[in-house]
Amino acid sequence: MGQSRNRRPTIIDVAERAGVSKSTAARALAGSSNITEETRERVVKAAEAVGYERNHLAVGMRSGRSGMLGLVIPDITNPFWADVARGAQDRAARAGASLLVFSSDWDPEAEAAHLRTLRRARVDGAIVNPVSDSFDDLDRFGLPCLFIGSSAERFPDISSVGSDIAQAVRLGLDHLVAKGHRAPALILGPKSRLARARFLRAVHEHCVERDIDPAIMPIEDGEYTVEGGREAMKRLLDQPRVGHLAVFAANDMMALGAMMAVRDAGLDCPRDVSVLGFDGIPSGEFAWPGLTTVAKPGRAIGERAVEGLFDEIEHKPEHRRIYMPCRLLERGSLADLSSMAPKRAAGAGRN
């Protein structure tokens, strides 16, 4: 192309190499939805070939946008939330946007501080997992916003994306029943969290359908951490029981902690105690035995959340809750008692 080494490549250079107009090249690199994937790919390859980089400052001054998005999640150390962040980052990058990620550590004040920082950074919008169920002051942050996580259901006027918890819990419980575990113990999160209520509601619906008394299921609460699950399992093991114990934990970190408590007690999983997790984090695959779990689509949630946020920014939101289905990952932490489970009256006894 004979351009000087000292001249920065322009959008005109990209357009010429891709064989499109300047406006088409600009729209393709901006992630416009009215560009075919074939054209977008050709423009992106042309931009890479000529070494073109968008001037986000200039674009922002013309459009009133910064090209930056915010993501506030409750715990970046939890692999599930890291997966959500990765999905959001990948989708933002495909649209030429940058993502600023903050972890609130389940602290409403930290969450509010992060949102103030995002507003000062002039991000175009934010994706938030509200750690408080009383998120009443969203308007004062003045940001297009989309919610993720269970607490989002408390805010029907705000678009949100999350796992289909009811489908996921039914999937896990049906699998336990198929394995001969009719009434498992439950390790749940703190009573203050909406996620706990959603999980229990799905359990009760399952019990009604199968004519099981939910009161026969022991319940222990804890934080959504390895230590929280470990301590909850210790309390379950201290309770009198007859026969095999099966446990359904509200997330994989708690489930892994529960498996540690089983080993600490000199017991074996799954010979003495069966454990089912919930999240699908990678570390469950490397546990011994591998953790059977109901996997939530973390990366897909992040991607879909960014797409929904773009709708909010463009002032064309649907204001609805998008439920994404979960799937079962069977490994080795559940004993199969189906062949030896006696036929008994509904709701009688326990595993």
Q: Any idea what the CATH number is for the domain that residue 82 is in?
A: 3.40.50.2300
Does some domain include residue 22?
yes
Residue 39 is part of a domain; what is its CATH number?
1.10.260.40
Whether residue 70 has pLDDT greater than 90: yes
Predicted pLDDT of residue 241:
81
Q: How many domains does the chain have?
A: 3
H or E segment to which residue 66 belongs: none
Predicted pLDDT of residue 10:
86
Whether residue 57 has pLDDT greater than 80: no
Residue pointed to by tokens 């002039």: 122
Same domain, 118 and 184: no
Q: At what angle do helices 165-178 and 194-210 cross, to 10 degrees?
A: 50
Number of H helices, E strands in the chain: 12, 12
Closest by CA to 53, choosing from 5, 14, 4, is 14
Question: What's the CA gap between 283 and 3, in Å, rounded?
Answer: 51
State pTM to two decimals: 0.75
Burial class, 346, CB count within 10 angstroms (exposed 0-12 / middle 13-18 / buried 19+)? exposed
Predicted pLDDT of residue 137:
54
Question: What's the CA gap between 22 and 231, in Å, rounded?
Answer: 62
Does some domain include residue 223?
yes
Same domain, 238 and 116: no
Q: What 8-state DSSP symbol labels residue 19?
A: T
Whether residue 175 has pLDDT greater than 80: yes
Please give the share of the chain, as a percent, with pLDDT higher than 90. 56
Question: What's the CA gap between 295 and 207, in Å, rounded?
Answer: 22
Burial class, 1, CB count within 10 angstroms (exposed 0-12 / middle 13-18 / buried 19+)? exposed
Structure tokens at 262: 């089983």
Same domain, 290 and 211: yes
Mean pLDDT of 230-251: 94
Closest by CA to 184, choosing from 295, 284, 274, is 274
Predicted pLDDT of residue 135:
57
Domain ranges, residue 118: 63-162+298-325
Q: What 8-state DSSP symbol labels residue 160?
A: E
User: 121-148 burial, b for 16+ CB within 10 Å, e for fewer?
Assistant: eebbbbbbbbbbbebeebeeeebbbbbb
Does some domain include residue 331?
no
Contact 319, 157 (CB under 8 A): yes
Give, rounded to a whole angstrom, the gap between the first and last alpha carbons of the chain: 75
Phi, psi for 6 (deg, rounded to 5): -85, -5
Predicted pLDDT of residue 139:
56
Residue pointed to by tokens 């359990």: 203
What is residue 204's three-state secondary structure?
Answer: helix
Does some domain include residue 216?
yes
Does some domain include residue 2?
no
Same domain, 196 and 151: no
Does some domain include residue 5?
no
Q: What 8-state DSSP symbol labels residue 112?
A: H
Does some domain include residue 345?
no
User: 263-276 burial, b for 16+ CB within 10 Å, e for fewer?
Assistant: eeeeeebbeebbbb
Measure Cα distances from 274 to 43, 83, 255 in Å: 53, 26, 10
Q: What angle do CA 318, 319, 320 make, to 5 degrees?
A: 95
Contact 162, 129 (CB under 8 A): no
128-147 pLDDT, tens digit per residue, is 998 865 555 555 567 888 99
HSE (side-chain half, CA atoms, 13 Å) at 48: 6
Same domain, 209 and 285: yes
Same domain, 189 and 282: yes
CA torsion sign for 233, 234, 236, 240 is positive
- Mean pLDDT over each residue of the chain, to the nearest integer: 86
Question: What's the CA gap between 272 and 261, in Å, rounded?
Answer: 12
Whether residue 343 has pLDDT greater than 50: no
Same domain, 198 and 289: yes
